[in-house]
Structure 1
């Protein structure tokens, strides 16, 4: 039996660098963390030497550099630690949006900038987003380390941070050690085959064979032959005896995917096998006894098919002994950062690409997207992002437009009290009013991330800072 633990979240520790002259600002930030109930382990250091020592001896995901009065010490620290911690994210707290300083900060590789003029709510939101990105980056590097050092198989580790998936995994852990058949229900692309294999690996049969057959991918006659086998001469083209999957899986587990697509004739034979634990090969007359644990999956509600006369009622009650409902990805928003980390690392290995975490705004965008194709669609999007990305991270611009434009899911209304709420704007609206309204709208749609907003607007970050100051 394999390790039953699911992939756990990797908490990001926060290191706050604030020289003596910046202590008032540091207290403001720690006060915001406490008031917003942001759960994070943090520590405060006053000098660069102490910061480098902490970073060398204790992994940290996020370095917050307070530079309200003088950015030079923070930039020097960032230059010294950047090369030593590949997964470290940096955020700088500035006193004013000076264009030259902001440009220097971004060119140094700092992921975001906080401003003294930001409200406490804005600062709390931006800090929470930065911590989420830091956790994701750490998770990617931790999974990569586990894969290289321990042979950690990412395809076998379910992610269950969301309540819906935790409930499903609790049921799976209860039924896995038993010989009972399991019926996994869920939309296409939710990972039913991965969980079927996981059930097998948590069972007493883990060391034996695990086989899969898709009932919707084969013709009825071929499906019957694949499942039960056939004797020589059983039909035209049967030039030799063929052993079926039920025989091959003796002592192990057989997973029947898309059981809802099984033809009626096969349903009759399958019901007979479940009842008697033996079967005949196609064209044979000698009963064959096997000990096989059956796991079924359906992407349609079987009871509805029973009511429509498309699925046998007696078979339904035979296989519906222990049903497990797998939630769609849109109901597992809390799982998405960890799933994305798994998928990134797996795709990097498959595509022979260097390991890349997600950049600013990416996690927020994928959390908002409804994912009609579920995990399969997420996997495709991440592979595409990795291929087209140019830098060290997968950026928002590397995602398809339907995902990278949060306004599609957030709604098209302008969100700002100062903004004009209709579109198009009235004819008497001044150009600067329209520009200001749109900047606020894009900034809100980007979750307050100024880097992302500048990219969406097609302007330099320093230009955005100047326009925000005018707003």
Structure 2
């Protein structure tokens, strides 16, 4: 939007006359004020695009007017004029929020240049505003984080309170509950929107590579470092970095993350220069960091620095009232992505999906819906389209561990041949492994009556590994 209405405030009549004549000749609407008080009244009652203010006026000075106007109309651009070309005046004017500063006497070309610069800045601001709205629309909570249960309403409230600030947030919850989505919602509803959002899964990167991923490295820092590489913190400068599964981060790296929080600077591997970074940290974990800190498996000081504002995501089995809305959301999303006709669920199907405990949480539900849409050509999805679920006598839906390897291979092969499966048709190894792991561990724990030490011994794995598997697979331990 280009400039239209301009206010000129100066106690010299000749200056007001010259500026008003020149600006009106260019098609601007110009109002004049003889002193600071008159200028303030006009600004309060009018809608100006630009104000050109003399630094020294009777009553309210130009500098004081800057302070008053910033409180009233923070988006009004103001240019300060002065006959005293001192560094003090220039610094003070810019510090108080002036858009520009010019010294009398000046050529009218200077005013033309300022107006051109303002118009260019307003055009960029307008484009950025459109981009921000597009980004907000993409990441609006009600469009991407589905659910109206009491637990989710509390999450929404917390996001709304914490997003505008720069405080560190710790998102906790089981795998598949949507921790990264929460982190993105915080970022895209903050003042850092338009700046980078960088996500890093600390558990997915080998320990020896994690440090260089986070902090970057200099050329020649190690074998294979052919050129300098910026780390995730530098890439996220000005924006937000999301550290997922931070509970799996090695202790030595935890100390360096603590330093970033305290000093707001990083040092590349193989380098000696401290590089300032302005980054907001949102961390996430599916582990109990407080317990890990007590057991000296996680730095206690880092835990307290990360846990400024905690957000706890409850598992899907504890907010089953949200499942119907999630099912409808994923049906619409999947059909749009795959460009296939819309699908709906029969009442029996919805009851089946609502009854199931979803150990993989929202992620498992989404993949299950996607699989059903891919493999079914019928617009109405029935329980037969979900062969991995069955109803127990208690009315609870459970995964059918008896689902045969032949059925799994056939399902994935058909999806691959039809070229419709966009969720990685080559994931059958992990799919079969999960089918075997869950019933095996559950069976052993049933036989040991929930004794994890004995169960780990029978399985031949470490107790910590067993505990992690129990959490990942959503296995309930019964001790009766």
What's the counterpart of residue 238 of structure 2? 251
What's the counterpart of residue 273 of structure 2? 286
Task: Tell me how far 1:405 sits from its aligned partner.
Answer: 2.5
Residues 208, 192 of structure 1: CA spacing in aligned structure 2 closer, same or farther, 3 A cutoff? Answer: same
What's the counterpart of residue 367 of structure 2? 380
Task: Tell me how far 1:273 sits from its aligned partner.
Answer: 0.8
Q: 2:250 and 2:142 mapped to 1: Cα distance?
A: 31
Match of 1:226 among 213, 218, 228: 213
1:159-178 aligned within 5 A: 159-178=146-165
Task: Tell me how far 1:164 sits from its aligned partner.
Answer: 1.0
* Corresponding position: 1:326 with 2:313: yes
Q: 1:390 and 1:169 mapped to 2: Cα distance?
A: 37
Cα displacement string for residues 201-229 of structure 1 (whole angstroms, at most 9, x for unaligned residues) = 11111111111000000112211111100
What's the counterpart of residue 395 of structure 1? 382
What's the counterpart of residue 258 of structure 2? 271
SS in 1 for 2:381: coil
Task: Tell me how far 1:321 sits from its aligned partner.
Answer: 0.5
1:215/1:223 contact within 8 Å kept: yes
Q: 1:274 and 1:183 mapped to 2: Cα distance?
A: 14
Q: 2:352 and 2:397 mapped to 1: Cα distance?
A: 13
Q: Relative contact order (C-alpha < 8 Å, sep 6+): which is higher?
A: 1
Q: 1:187 and 1:214 mapped to 2: Cα distance?
A: 15
Q: 2:241 and 2:230 mapped to 1: Cα distance?
A: 14
Match of 2:393 among 407, 411, 415: 407
With normalisation by structure 2, the TM-score equals: 0.52
Match of 1:295 among 261, 264, 282: 282
Match of 2:224 among 237, 242, 250: 237
* Corresponding position: 1:205 with 2:192: yes
Q: 1:352 and 1:408 mapped to 2: Cα distance?
A: 38
What's the counterpart of residue 344 of structure 2? 357
1:156/1:197 contact within 8 Å kept: no
1:246/1:292 contact within 8 Å kept: yes
What's the counterpart of residue 31 of structure 1? none
2:167/2:280 contact within 8 Å kept: yes
2:344/2:381 contact within 8 Å kept: yes
2:219/2:225 contact within 8 Å kept: yes
Residues 231, 362 of structure 1: CA spacing in aligned structure 2 closer, same or farther, 3 A cutoff? Answer: same
5+ long unaligned stretches in structure 1: 1-146, 413-471
What's the counterpart of residue 335 of structure 1? 322
Residues 183, 153 of structure 1: CA spacing in aligned structure 2 closer, same or farther, 3 A cutoff? Answer: closer
What's the counterpart of residue 348 of structure 1? 335
Task: Tell me how far 1:154 sits from its aligned partner.
Answer: 9.2
1:215/1:256 contact within 8 Å kept: yes
Cα displacement string for residues 289-308 of structure 1 (whole angstroms, at most 9, x for unaligned residues) = 01111100000010111112
- Is 387-396 or 270-279 further displaced after alignment? 387-396
1:306/1:312 contact within 8 Å kept: yes
Residues 245, 410 of structure 1: CA spacing in aligned structure 2 closer, same or farther, 3 A cutoff? Answer: closer
2:352/2:397 contact within 8 Å kept: no
Give the number of the structure whose alpha-carbon radius of gyration is greater: 2
* Corresponding position: 1:188 with 2:175: yes
What's the counterpart of residue 298 of structure 2? 311
1:75-224 aligned within 5 A: 157-224=144-211
Task: Tell me how far 1:399 sits from its aligned partner.
Answer: 1.0
Residues 283, 367 of structure 1: CA spacing in aligned structure 2 closer, same or farther, 3 A cutoff? Answer: same
Residues 230, 366 of structure 1: CA spacing in aligned structure 2 closer, same or farther, 3 A cutoff? Answer: same
SS in 2 for 1:361: helix
1:6-85 aligned within 5 A: none
Q: 2:265 and 2:205 mapped to 1: Cα distance?
A: 23
Q: Where do 4+ consecutive residues of structure 1 move more than 4 Å?
A: 150-156
What's the counterpart of residue 368 of structure 1? 355
Aligned length: 263
RMSD, matched Cα: 2.2
1:389/1:395 contact within 8 Å kept: no
With normalisation by structure 1, the TM-score equals: 0.53
Residues 172, 153 of structure 1: CA spacing in aligned structure 2 closer, same or farther, 3 A cutoff? Answer: closer
Q: 1:155 and 1:286 mapped to 2: Cα distance?
A: 44
Residues 393, 225 of structure 1: CA spacing in aligned structure 2 closer, same or farther, 3 A cutoff? Answer: same
Residues 359, 310 of structure 1: CA spacing in aligned structure 2 closer, same or farther, 3 A cutoff? Answer: same
Cα displacement string for residues 268-327 of structure 1 (whole angstroms, at most 9, x for unaligned residues) = 111111100011111111110011111000000101111121100011011010000001
What's the counterpart of residue 78 of structure 1? none
Task: Tell me how far 1:400 sits from its aligned partner.
Answer: 2.6
Cα displacement string for residues 373-417 of structure 1 (whole angstroms, at most 9, x for unaligned residues) = 101110121112112223212222111342x426364499xxxxx
What's the counterpart of residue 27 of structure 1? none
Residues 277, 153 of structure 1: CA spacing in aligned structure 2 closer, same or farther, 3 A cutoff? Answer: closer
